[in-house]
Amino acid sequence: MSNVKKVVLAYSGGLDTSVILKWLEDTYNCEVVTFTADIGQGEEVEPAREKARAMGVKEIYIEDLREEFARDYVFPMFRANTLYEGEYLLGTSIARPLIAKRLVEIANETGADAIAHGATGKGNDQVRFELGAYALKPDVKVIAPWREWDLLSREKLMAYAKEHDIPVDFAKAGKKSPYSMDANSLHISYEGGILEDPWAEPEEGMWRWTVSPEQAPDTPTYIELTYAKGDVVAIDGQAVTPGQVMEQLNRIGGENGIGRADIVENRYVGMKSRGAYETPGGTILLKAHRAIESLTLDREVAHLKDELMPRYAELIYNGYWWSPEREMLQEMIDASQRTVNGRVRLKLYKGNVIVVGRQSASDSLFDESIATFEDDAGAYDQKDAEGFIKLNALRLRIAARRRR
């Protein structure tokens, strides 16, 4: 292990990663560089700097990546209307490639020999971090302490922290949360506790971002989203950045009880896992994006996108964001968005996102003169449908005659 002289650690400042920091120093006799990212988790990240300093870390990276996360990861994913297994909006999955990228970049900047993360050996995140790292730096060494050490309980972690004078709020750390949670500007997830029983209903007190639909306002909230090339660029006529889109839609959606999901999903490592998710802004984005596409996308392009989406979602879920196949699909998806321009009006009411209007001055394919149920003044000759139907029925008629 002496060949590892410096490691970049994805560091939150909590019990687990603080123990990992000290364990890396002791086990590998190496210097540790800490990296803490603000990707919209809603918690102060600066305390991680003080904790790292208290543990003697000389190189500390604290970075605000909220705009980059929304612009370069969340928005491209929503151009594809991405859902994993028909329900999951991939809030945890889409954050991992950005963290992996910065771990590798910091390793290059600091001359580190390895990177380290705190993901367990049972979950998807270990795969996502490491596939991303290897795609960007093929010879990088990855250290995953949960696959190496014997500190496999919170009690053992706390005992290790006390033994090595690791600065941890033991009163807080000792009150084990019943849930394992992950948050960023797209979602917050909950696993563990009573959720390990797929029959048990989540406790109302668990949810942090959303009111229950029953407690949401009795009057609807209307919002208007403006799209340019498939991305939201304004809310109610006011220009917004991608990061601001996520912040505002999470707030508005949460106030209206939007975005709760309770899912049993198939992890890449093979097991089924039950998780609960709050994704208010993402739920709004998915509904609105499909609405503007319904107006501006050619039928066959829209249907092809829907066919490709499950594969695209699976790539992100399994950690292949930096793979050539995901990048190829992204090129196709982005090309389809050139005409996805216009406005969508939504009504938010007690957990529901209801599309009440869509409009595109430049790219709408909706022709009222043809679609009307009134007199179309000859815009569409209904007699043409007879030949169309007979040609499409030809093979069916031939087969039916043979069956007589």
CA–CA separation, 274 and 33 (whole Å): 34
**Is it the case that residue 84 has pLDDT exceeding 60?**
yes
- Residue 309 falls inside a structural domain: no
Residue listed under structure tokens 């033994």:
163
Q: 271 by DSSP, 3-state: which?
A: coil
Segment 190-235, tens digit of pLDDT: 999 999 999 999 999 999 999 999 999 999 999 999 999 999 999 9
> Distance between alpha carbon 83 and the CA centroid of its chain, in Å?
10
Q: Are residues 172 and 187 in the same domain?
A: no
User: pLDDT band at residue 175, thresholds of 50, 70 and 90?
Assistant: low
Q: What is the pLDDT of residue 377?
A: 84
Segment 107-119, tens digit of pLDDT: 999 999 999 999 9
Q: Are residues 17 and 165 in the same domain?
A: yes
User: pLDDT band at residue 286, thresholds of 50, 70 and 90?
Assistant: very high
**Burial label, 25 (beta-carbon count in 10 A; 0-12, 13-18, 19+):** middle
Q: 184 by DSSP, 3-state: which?
A: coil
Candidate list 49, 71, 180, 267, residue with the active-site label: 180
Q: Are residues 65 and 136 in the same domain?
A: yes
Domain final residue, candidates 144, 176, 208? 176
Q: Are residues 237 and 344 in the same domain?
A: yes
User: pLDDT band at residue 51, thresholds of 50, 70 and 90?
Assistant: very high
- Residue 310 falls inside a structural domain: no
> Per-residue pLDDT averaged across 344-373, rounded?
95
CATH code at position 243: 3.90.1260.10
- Residue 147 falls inside a structural domain: yes
- Residue 345 falls inside a structural domain: yes
Candidate list 66, 96, 128, 326, residue with the active-site label: 96
Q: Are residues 170 and 217 in the same domain?
A: no
User: How far are the Cα atoms of 55, 114, 203 from residue 110, in angstroms, in the given order?
Assistant: 19, 11, 45
User: How far are the Cα atoms of 205, 227, 235, 359 from residue 240, in angstroms, in the given order?
Assistant: 32, 11, 7, 19
Residue 16 appears among annotated catalytic residues: yes
- Residue 34 falls inside a structural domain: yes
> Per-residue pLDDT averaged across 338-366, rounded?
98
Segment 135-160, tens digit of pLDDT: 999 999 999 999 999 888 878 998 99
Q: Are residues 113 and 136 in the same domain?
A: yes
**Is it the case that residue 174 has pLDDT exceeding 60?**
no
**Is it the case that residue 300 has pLDDT exceeding 60?**
yes
CATH code at position 144: 3.40.50.620
Q: What is the pLDDT of residue 134?
A: 98
Domain final residue, candidates 157, 176, 195? 176
Q: What is the mean pLDDT of the chain?
A: 94
Give the residue ranges of DSSP H helices in 226-367. Answer: 242-255, 280-296, 299-318, 324-336
- The first and second tokens of residue 153, run together, are 């309980």
Q: Judge whether 353 and 346 are in contact, CB under 8 Å.
A: yes
340: nearest Cα among 285, 259, 268 = 285
- Residue 51 falls inside a structural domain: yes
Candidate list 38, 66, 113, 125, residue with the active-site label: 125
Q: Are residues 172 and 186 in the same domain?
A: no
Q: Which of 54-68, 162-176, 231-245 has the lowest mean pLDDT?
A: 162-176
CA–CA separation, 99 and 112 (whole Å): 16
Q: What is the pLDDT of residue 176?
A: 59
- Point out which residues pair with 386 in neighbouring strands: none
Q: Judge whether 265 and 83 are in contact, CB under 8 Å.
A: no
Residue 231 appears among annotated catalytic residues: no
Question: How many folded domains does the chain comprise?
Answer: 3
Q: Are residues 200 and 166 in the same domain?
A: no
75: nearest Cα among 67, 85, 64, 63 = 67
- Residue 134 falls inside a structural domain: yes
Domain final residue, candidates 176, 210, 244? 176
Q: What is the pLDDT of residue 2?
A: 59
Residue 180 appears among annotated catalytic residues: yes
Q: Are residues 65 and 141 in the same domain?
A: yes
> Per-residue pLDDT averaged across 74-89, rounded?
98
User: pLDDT band at residue 331, thresholds of 50, 70 and 90?
Assistant: very high
Q: Are residues 95 and 146 in the same domain?
A: yes
Rounded to 5 degrees, what angle do the CA atoms 119, 122, 126 make?
35
CA–CA separation, 382 and 385 (whole Å): 6
Q: Are residues 42 and 123 in the same domain?
A: yes
- Residue 223 falls inside a structural domain: yes
Q: Are residues 145 and 220 in the same domain?
A: no
Task: For the chain, report the end-to-end CA distance as a whole number of angstroms.
Answer: 78
Q: Which domain range does residue 393 map to? A: 368-402
